[in-house]
Structure 1
Amino acid sequence: MTFRLYDTATREVRDFVPLEEGKAGLYVCGLTVQSEPHVGHVRSGVNFDVLQRWLRHLGYDVTFIRNVTDIDDKILLKSADQGLEWYELAYRMKRQLDQAYDDLNVAPPTYEPAATGHVPEMIVLIEELIAKGHAYAADDGSGDVYFDVRSWPQYGELTRQGIDDMAAAEDADPRGKHDPRDFALWKGWKKDSEPETAAWPSPWGPGRPGWHIECSAMAGKYLGPAFDIHGGGVDLRFPHHENEQAQSRAAGRPFATYWMHNAWITTAGEKMSKSLGNSLTIPAVLQRYRGIELRYYLVAAHYRSHVEFSFEALDEAAAGFRRIENFLDRAADLLGGIGGGGIACADFLNAMNDDLGTPAAVAAIHEVVREGNKLLAAGDSPALRGNAASVVAMLDVLGLDPADPAWSSPGGGRTAERLETVVAGLVSDLLAQREKARADRDFVSADAIRDRLHAVGVQLEDTPDGPKWSID
């Protein structure tokens, strides 16, 4: 079977033919770490995690790069508003993003380069563009460097726009530009309003890179001048991806063969974003749902379909996933465990090969589960073993296998939930025994229970409202 994907550049479903047989190079634009991650942010991470898992399932050796933008205008503004150094804010938000990815079992990329660690590569690329006549240093003394959009006749081909139909670029002061649409490759340091730490030396004076140049430079460093798939949110198609492609190809780098874009998560019809004030942070959602249930909710929708977020829909998704879990629990009890196996469901394979058709793939899993429930009722152990193993294999491709150790972390899957319940029950029983011993003035036994709990990392505090315990 051939994997087919929708290429947003050609607007066609195309067979995936990698540049190098047996290998796949994937670059995904990661987040700007300016604020705590919300559900809309992590959708891209989940969607492209499914893509890399599917490519690996098909036998490809995948090099997956997902960058981090850790310096830009928004980070500088928000850090100043919060009284923080810009790098302190970026680091804090990056740690929260890492935790969100872990909570949703988003596997780490092969490399995760940060913009601030690749300024030399960006300067080299800018110099190449200047040498080829596609970029220029502003003559207003600002230290800015711009890409000359009219020097590249193919500018606009990714989003099928003409230059004269485009709005002016908003990423720098227009005074030094030849054309309002020219975009910043390098931003001169504004010593009156920007910290000195946010400037790097360059041939054009101290400053920092523009947003678009970083991805071209990092993709080139880790994947080479040409690679297979470039991904990101649909809101990045213009101007970010349009500009990436233009500057890379103008420098003589073929860049991406295929473009894939995931759609938004919306609330009340609008893109979920911090600026709209309608975001839902991952920790807040995980107070109500397990990470595996939130991931199932995101995976069950096709990556190119807009999702109108609601807790009612998430409730329904969580209930649907628990039906799958309950089947696996019952099958494991009857079989004494579920062994490994391959995917035996043609409908699932066909769905995933059809542009990551996860809605049909999830429907196929539920159909196999329905068949499995019939086998359970009939006590048909041999057939059930293969059926359940196939369900586990399909879930694993989607990052939804409840037995995956990744779900054993707090906020994760059923394993964590059960362990927390067991621990709480055992500690409560021991505390009840200790309280009875104290009431009987058997302080030797009471102290022995306290010491047993302390030895395994459970700390006790006797309060007027009764003993409180915590994990050390």
Structure 2
Amino acid sequence: MGIKIYNTLSGEKEDFKPIKENEVGIYSCGPTVYDYFHIGNARAFIVPDIIKRYLNYRGYKIFHVLNFTDIDDKMIKRANQEEVTIEQLANRFIKAYFEDTDALNIRRADIYPKATEHIEGMIDLVEKLIAKDYAYSSGGDVYFRVEKFDEYGKLSKQHLEDLEAGNRVEVSGVKENPLDFTLWKESKEGEPSWESPWGLGRPGWHIECSVMSTKYLGDRFDIHTGGVDLTFPHHENEVAQSEACCGHQVVNYWVHNGYINIDGEKMSKSLDNFFTIREILEKYKAEVIRFFLISKHYRSPINFSDSELDSAKKSLGRLLNTLDKVENLLDLDAVEGGGDKGLKGLAQETEVEFKEAMDDDFNTALAIAVLHTMVKEVNLIVNNKEFILTEGLKEGLKEIKSTFESLAGDVLGILPKQEEAKGGLIDPLIELLVEVRSEVRKNKNYELADKIRDELKNLGVQIKDTPQGVEWKLK
């Protein structure tokens, strides 16, 4: 079975067929860089990361573009409040964006275009739309004629008649139709501005993505991602102006992730009910946050709360504990002979079922369930009282470890980063103390052994004595 993607444009799951064989172009709507991004934004950044990772795993070469909106009303307002330039504000929060996405193990895009670096292209696109009678200049601004584009509303499934009926704004004389949207706006005094055929001004929000996506991916590309809140009007307007200009469909697959809710309400800065990733990272590890964000299908809404994050922490912990157990067993000596007790077959079956889950519109929730099933089967074998580590079992455990690291690490990105997992010099020091404790126990000095165990526990190291040896992990 091939990969299927739910396409917002058609409202159905479709077979994925890239324009170029084994190559995929992806454009993602990035942040407006006037503040730290919240966990709702983080989901919109993690979804394309998962798509990239999985398509990469399936053999595709990816070229990913994610933009920075570095000029708009919010940026102007905050820059004025802080008495800094727009550029200084943008640079600060672009740096913060990379710090936070790196923490969440989000792989870098291939290019990060800024809106302010593509003004010339935006002016050129507006001129083309005017020449084709899809746009008009009025009072220093330029507007797109919505009624001129016959398919307006096809992405968001909103009919123009319904939009017009629901719009109670009277035509001011500046716009021909109250639904016409801004392509270019006249700058007010003191605002950043650029020379244009219509006077000093700056671009409208929607025109930015049309220009930056087609500049780097061509006038037809594979996947466009973003939050479901961008479907209308942002992406609807993007479709209209892009297709009006080039005369054909530009994006093959529109992929939108669902909301994150708090107490049943959509999380957003406008509602002032948001939590930045920076705030959440003070309480939870990055891999827990990432696990939480992919624990539901990307199109489903997620309810954000401490209890949900705690649940994600426990669920991820069960997976990581088993990986720790497998790694500890692989460090031990094994007796000769013995079979693998079906572990190699389990690894292969897990990979097949994982692919089936991810092939079905990147179903990470089901993919995680597949990993839990594998972990459960492994634990039944290694926790058995009669378990003996044989060379055959070690070979099977190697397959389990390799499969787990490939699927949970490379594809889902939920394994702790190596430096965090190993802790530099911390690991060898803990190993040394564990060995000392083992020697002390052999000499029947249980009081000192218990003291070492308790002190390690106070330092965040859990020790467990098993028939296969001592296991330890950092909390």
TM-score by length of 1: 0.81
Q: What is the SS of the residue equivalent to 1:37?
A: coil
Distance in 2 (CA, whole Å) between partners of 1:184 and 1:350 is 44
Matched, 1:292 2:287: yes
Distance in 2 (CA, whole Å) between partners of 1:355 and 1:295 is 19
Paired position in structure 2 for 1:58: 58
Q: CA deviation at 1:421?
A: 5.9
Amino acid at match of 2:326: A
The unaligned stretches of length 5 or more in structure 1 are 426-472
Matched, 1:99 2:135: no
Paired position in structure 2 for 1:11: 11
Paired position in structure 1 for 2:405: 392
Paired position in structure 1 for 2:220: 226
Distance in 2 (CA, whole Å) between partners of 1:169 and 1:94 is 36
Amino acid at match of 1:386: E
Matched, 1:154 2:148: no
The answer to whether the Cα contact below 8 Å between 1:372 and 1:388 also exists between their aligned partners in 2 is: no
Q: How does 1:118-197 map to 2 (within 5 A)?
A: 118-138=118-138, 140=139, 143-166=140-163, 175-191=173-189, 194-195=190-191
The answer to whether the Cα contact below 8 Å between 2:57 and 2:411 also exists between their aligned partners in 1 is: no
Q: CA deviation at 1:88?
A: 2.1
Q: CA deviation at 1:83?
A: 2.8
- In 2 relative to 1, CA 232–174 (structure 1 residues): closer, same or farther, beyond 3 Å? farther
Matched, 1:368 2:341: no
Distance in 2 (CA, whole Å) between partners of 1:280 and 1:346 is 37
Q: What is the SS of the residue equivalent to 2:270?
A: helix
- In 2 relative to 1, CA 174–398 (structure 1 residues): closer, same or farther, beyond 3 Å? farther
Aligned residues: 407
Does 260-269 or 390-399 show the bigger shift? 390-399
Paired position in structure 1 for 2:81: 81
Q: What per-residue deviation string (whole Å, max 9, x for no partner) do you get for residues 311-334 of structure 1?
A: 111011111111211111121121
- In 2 relative to 1, CA 227–383 (structure 1 residues): closer, same or farther, beyond 3 Å? same
Distance in 2 (CA, whole Å) between partners of 1:174 and 1:392 is 60
Identity of aligned residues (%): 39
Match of 2:255 among 251, 260, 273: 260
The answer to whether the Cα contact below 8 Å between 1:42 and 1:100 also exists between their aligned partners in 2 is: no
Q: How does 1:413-428 map to 2 (within 5 A)?
A: 413-415=420-422, 418-419=423-424
Amino acid at match of 1:187: K
Q: CA deviation at 1:107?
A: 0.4
Match of 2:197 among 192, 195, 203: 203
Q: CA deviation at 1:79?
A: 2.1
The answer to whether the Cα contact below 8 Å between 1:26 and 1:62 also exists between their aligned partners in 2 is: yes
Q: What per-residue deviation string (whole Å, max 9, x for no partner) do you get for residues 306-361 of structure 1?
A: 01101111011111111211111121121139xxx988522211000000111110
The answer to whether the Cα contact below 8 Å between 1:43 and 1:298 also exists between their aligned partners in 2 is: yes
Root mean square deviation of aligned Cα: 2.4
The answer to whether the Cα contact below 8 Å between 2:290 and 2:414 also exists between their aligned partners in 1 is: no
Paired position in structure 2 for 1:240: 234
Distance in 1 (CA, whole Å) between partners of 2:378 and 2:398 is 9
Match of 1:251 among 228, 236, 245: 245
Distance in 2 (CA, whole Å) between partners of 1:70 and 1:187 is 16
The answer to whether the Cα contact below 8 Å between 1:229 and 1:260 also exists between their aligned partners in 2 is: yes
Q: What per-residue deviation string (whole Å, max 9, x for no partner) do you get for residues 7-50 of structure 1?
A: 11111011001111111111111111121111111111111100
Amino acid at match of 2:232: F
The answer to whether the Cα contact below 8 Å between 1:342 and 1:389 also exists between their aligned partners in 2 is: no
Distance in 2 (CA, whole Å) between partners of 1:241 and 1:311 is 32
Distance in 2 (CA, whole Å) between partners of 1:94 and 1:208 is 21
Q: What is the SS of the residue equivalent to 1:229?
A: strand
Distance in 1 (CA, whole Å) between partners of 2:161 and 2:79 is 36
Distance in 1 (CA, whole Å) between partners of 2:428 and 2:270 is 41
Distance in 2 (CA, whole Å) between partners of 1:317 and 1:343 is 25
Q: What is the SS of the residue equivalent to 1:276?
A: coil
- In 2 relative to 1, CA 343–19 (structure 1 residues): closer, same or farther, beyond 3 Å? farther
Distance in 1 (CA, whole Å) between partners of 2:212 and 2:26 is 12
Q: CA deviation at 1:374?
A: 2.8
Distance in 2 (CA, whole Å) between partners of 1:37 and 1:21 is 35
Q: What is the SS of the residue equivalent to 1:274?
A: coil
Q: What per-residue deviation string (whole Å, max 9, x for no partner) do you get for residues 132-179 of structure 1?
A: 1101111x3xx2111111111111111122223226999xx9542111
Paired position in structure 1 for 2:33: 33
- In 2 relative to 1, CA 55–356 (structure 1 residues): closer, same or farther, beyond 3 Å? same
Amino acid at match of 1:375: I
The answer to whether the Cα contact below 8 Å between 2:146 and 2:180 also exists between their aligned partners in 1 is: yes
- In 2 relative to 1, CA 2–397 (structure 1 residues): closer, same or farther, beyond 3 Å? farther
Q: What per-residue deviation string (whole Å, max 9, x for no partner) do you get for residues 357-383 of structure 1?
A: 111100001111112223323332222
Q: What is the SS of the residue equivalent to 1:294?
A: helix
